Amino acid sequence: MSHDTHIEIKEEKYTVTEGNKKWSYGLMIVGLLLTILGYFTYKPLIEGMDLSAEDLHQLVTKRLWANLLIDSYFTFIIATCAIIFVVISQLTNAAWYVAIRRIPEAMSTYMIIGAGILVTIILVNFYVLHGGIYHWAHPGVMEADPLLAKKTWYLSQPFYLVRLILFTAFWIFCATKIRNNSRNEDLVGGIENFDKNFKISTVFLVVFGFTFSMLAWDLMMSIDAHWYSTIFTIYNFATGWVSALTVTYLLVWYLRGKGYLGIVTDEHQHDLGKFMFAFSVFWTYMWVAQFLLIWYANIPEEVVYYRERMFGTYQFSFYINIVLNFVVPFFIFMMRDAKRNRKVGYFVGAALLIGHWNDCFLMVMPGAMDLPTAITEHNPTGSIEIPNQGYGFIEIGLLLFFAGLFLTVVMKALTKANLYPTRHPFIYESAMHDVGV
C-alpha cells in the first residue's frame, strides 16, 4: 500500500455540538427517569412468599446499589485502562498509536468522577446501609463465620476505604501528569515531556499491576466473600482493557466521520480492530481458564459461584456473555475488511460494550441480591432464590445515565487540546502508518 508522502500536521480542535449535548444529556435524563420508574415499580416474585413492605424495600435498595456499583465500576475501569493503553504504548516506544493518543487521554479524565462515585457507593453501603450489598460488612457476620473470620484483617472497613482512596488517587495523579505533559509537548516541542511521561509511565504501570489486583478483589470479588479465583484480577483487567479499546475504536470512527483526525487512516482503525479481536480471545481464554479450574476441582466453596449463574435465573445472562464477548467479535472481526467498515465496527463495538457490561452484571448481581433477613428467618433450608427478573428499568436506566455521563466528560475533555499531539517525536511515523496487508 502507498501513502501520500506529503503529510500535513496541523491543529485540529474539537467543538462539542448541540447534537452532542442533546445525546449525552438526553441519555442521562432518560436514564434517571427509567431508574426512578424501576425503583418504584420493582416487585420480585418469590414462589410461596408474600413480601412485606420492609422486605421489598431491602431488595429494591440492594438492586439499586448493586447496579450503581456495576455501572460505576465498568465506566471507571474503561477510563483507567484507556490511560494504561497510553502508558504501555509509551513504554514500548510504539509510534502507530500517536495519531489517536488524545482519545484515550480524554477518556481518562473520567477517572476522578468515577472514583468519587465508587467511594460514595462504598461509604453508603458500609455506614448507611450497614453492609448493604457486601454481606461480610453486615454487623456480626465476620465474627459468626469461621471462614470470613480469617479474612478480618483484610476485610476491615477502614482499611478497605483507605486502599480504595489511595489506589484511585495515585492512578488519577499519574493520569493527570501524563495528560498535562502530553499537552505541554504541543507548546514546547522537543523530547523533555516525552521523557517525563516515560518515567511516570514506568512507575505507574508497576504500581498499577499490584493495586488493580486488590481493587478488583475489594469491589467485585468480596461481594461473594467465601469464593475466590486466582485469575480474577487478570479477568477483570481483560474486561476493562477490551472495553477501553472498543470505546477508542468507536470514538475514532465518530471523529473521522465528522471530518476530524485528518492524519488517521483505515490503517489505524485496522490496528484498533485487531486489538479488539485479539483481546476478546484473551478475555475468553481467561473466562474458560477460570471456569475449567473450578469445574474440574469441584470444590463446594468454589462451584457455588457458577451454579448460581449457570443453572439459576441468571442462565440467560451467563450464556449471552459468551456470545457477545467472544462469538460476535471473533467471527466478524476475523475478516480484514470488517475492521475497516464503519457500520460493522459500530455493530461489533456495541456488542462488546453491552457484553462486558453484562460481564460486570454477572460478577455483582447474584451475590449482591441475597435474601432479606426477614425471609431467611422463615426459611432455614436456604432454598429460596431471588429471581433475576431480567434487565429491568433500573438496569437500563443506570446504564444509559452512566453512558451519558461518560460521553459528556470525554467530549468536553476532547476540546481541551489538539486532537493529536502535533509535536510528538513519533507523529510523522504515526501519520505514515501502514499495516502492510
Q: What is the pLDDT at residue 382? A: 43
The answer on pLDDT for 292 being more than 80 is yes
Residue 55: per-residue pLDDT: 74
Mean of the per-residue pLDDT values for the chain? 90
Report if residue 383 sits inside a domain. no
Statement: residue 381 has pLDDT above 50: no
Find cell 429471581 and name the residue. 387
What is the reported pLDDT for 54? 76
pLDDT at 111: 98
pLDDT digits (tens, 9 = 90+) for 230-239: 899 999 999 9
At 383, the pLDDT band (50, 70, 90 cuts) reads: very low
Q: Is pLDDT above 80 for 113?
A: yes
CA 408 and chain centroid, separation: 17
What pLDDT is stored for residue 218 in this prediction? 95
Q: What is the pLDDT of residue 373?
A: 46
pLDDT at 227 exceeding the cut of 50: yes
pLDDT (mean) for 305-323 = 90
**Confidence at residue 388, expressed as pLDDT on a 0 to 100 scale:** 63
pTM above 0.85, yes or no: yes
CA–CA distance, 401 with 410 (Å, rounded to integer) = 14
pLDDT in tens, 253-263: 999 999 999 99
pLDDT in tens, 138-147: 998 888 888 8
Does the residue 25 lie in any domain? yes
Residue 12 falls within a domain, yes or no? no
CA 327 to chain centre: 20
Give the chain's domain count.
Answer: 1
Average pLDDT over residues 406-427: 95
Does residue 161 lie within any of the structural domains?
A: yes
More confident site: 204 or 383: 204
Q: How far apart are CA 145 and CA 6, in angstroms?
A: 70
Q: Is the pLDDT of residue 52 over 80?
A: no
Across residues 163-174, what is the average pLDDT? 98
- Average pLDDT rounded to a whole number, residues 357-378: 75
Separation CA 431–CA 317 (nearest Å): 42
In a domain, residue 163? The reply is yes
List helix spans (H) across 258-341: 266-297, 300-310, 315-322, 328-333, 336-339
Residue 384 belongs to a domain = no
44-53, 84-93, 155-164: which has the minimum mean pLDDT?
A: 44-53
pLDDT of residue 230: 87
Cell of 274: 485487531
Cα–Cα distance, 207 to 398 (Å, whole number): 31
Q: Is the pLDDT of residue 425 over 50?
A: yes
Residue 376 has pLDDT above 60, yes or no: no
DSSP characters over 124-150: HHHHTSTTTT-GGGSTTHHHH-HHHHT
- Domain of residue 106 covers 18-377+391-431
- What CA dihedral angle connects 67, 70, 76 and 81, to 10 degrees? -160
Check residue 50 and give left, alpha or beta (phi > 0: left; psi -120 to 50: alpha): beta
Residue 326 scores a pLDDT above 50: yes
CB neighbours (10 Å) of residue 119?
Answer: 16
All three cell numbers of 149, joined, read 473470620
When pLDDT is cut at 50, 70 and 90, the band that residue 46 belongs to is low
Confidence category of residue 372, pLDDT binned at 50, 70, 90:
very low
Are the beta carbons of 181 and 200 closer than 8 angstroms?
Answer: yes
Q: Is 378 exposed, middle or buried (0-12, 13-18, 19+ CB in 10 A)?
A: exposed
Distance from C-alpha of 60 to C-alpha of 63, rounded to nearest angstrom: 5
66 lies in some domain: yes
Q: Is residue 169 part of a domain?
A: yes
Question: What confidence category does residue 317 fall into, taking pLDDT thresholds of 50, 70 and 90?
Answer: very high
pLDDT in tens, 195-226: 999 999 999 999 999 999 999 999 999 999 98
Task: Band the pLDDT of 389: cuts 50, 70, 90.
Answer: low
- pLDDT (mean) for 58-76: 94
Q: 408 versus 374: which is more confidently predicted?
A: 408
Answer yes or no: is pLDDT of 380 > 60.
Answer: no
What's residue 331's pLDDT? 96
